[in-house]
Amino acid sequence: MNIDLSGRTAFVSGSTKGIGRAIAAGLARAGAATVVNGRDRGGVDAAVAALRAGLPDAEITGVAADVATADGAAAAVAAVPAVDVLVNSLGIFAPKPVLRIDDDEWRRYFEVNVLAGVRLTRAWLPGMVDRGWGRVQFIASDSAVAIPAEMVHYGVSKTALLAVSRGHAKAVAGSGVTVNTVLAGPTHTEGVETFVREMVGEHLPWEDAQRVFMADFRPNSLIRRLIEPREIADMCVYLASEQASATTGGALRVDGGYVDSIVP
């Protein structure tokens, strides 16, 4: 499949590392003028430099803004007035017993994992509708439908994204704009490596730690390994393409078969 995003501008929130960075790389590789985003200017500049080094012909820029705040989202929109492809990738996670999660922590997860994407979508979606073309994606998780006991607050925030995405897709029905959610399964990122160590201990070599984690905490996985970020990015690049014009309002799974369901 030849995916060509030349002439499109893409913004990927939370894209200085992990899944977001892989998505930014994939979109840039397909020809989109891609904007990398993170809170810290140093982190953004480093990510942009690394991506440009690997993709010397790509157009890659960066915006340092905390889009989990209203002011940060406004700053991002001011820096990039028009976007054709928006990937709401920003997210946080950490294990914590549900009865020890206080109100402030619940609010923080909602602000970062849900409202950040809502704010950016609200800002850029009308322009997409006016132009008759656009792609919005929310990066959710298998935890949206298989709530993990060790981080209920994270799972709830990702469940909310399914409704947010479906609702926005209905709001722009017939406009040429699509809105979808990507359900990412357990993925090999820097943050997940730390999480795995917290769950299984520091003493094991990484390959053994990953195997124990998948067997003990993610036994439903059919691929029996962590997913690589580029595997998530491949789905996002497809959803950003012309070829995905009839896919909207969906929850697309890149979960390694983790969710035990034959219906998406």
Among residues 109, 154, 238, 258, the one annotated as catalytic is: 154
> Does residue 238 have an active-site annotation?
no
Q: Give whole-number Cα distances, 252 to 121, 161, 181, 212, 222, in Å.
A: 19, 13, 6, 27, 17
Quick one: 107 exposed, middle or buried, by C-beta within 10 A (0-12, 13-18, 19+)?
exposed
The secondary structure of residue 39, as a DSSP letter, is S
d(CA 18, CA 21): 5
> Which helix H or strand E contains 254, and what residues bound it?
strand 251-254
d(CA 176, CA 174): 6
d(CA 164, CA 171): 11
Q: Identity (one letter) of the amino acid at 254?
A: V
d(CA 181, CA 185): 13
Active site positions, annotated? 154
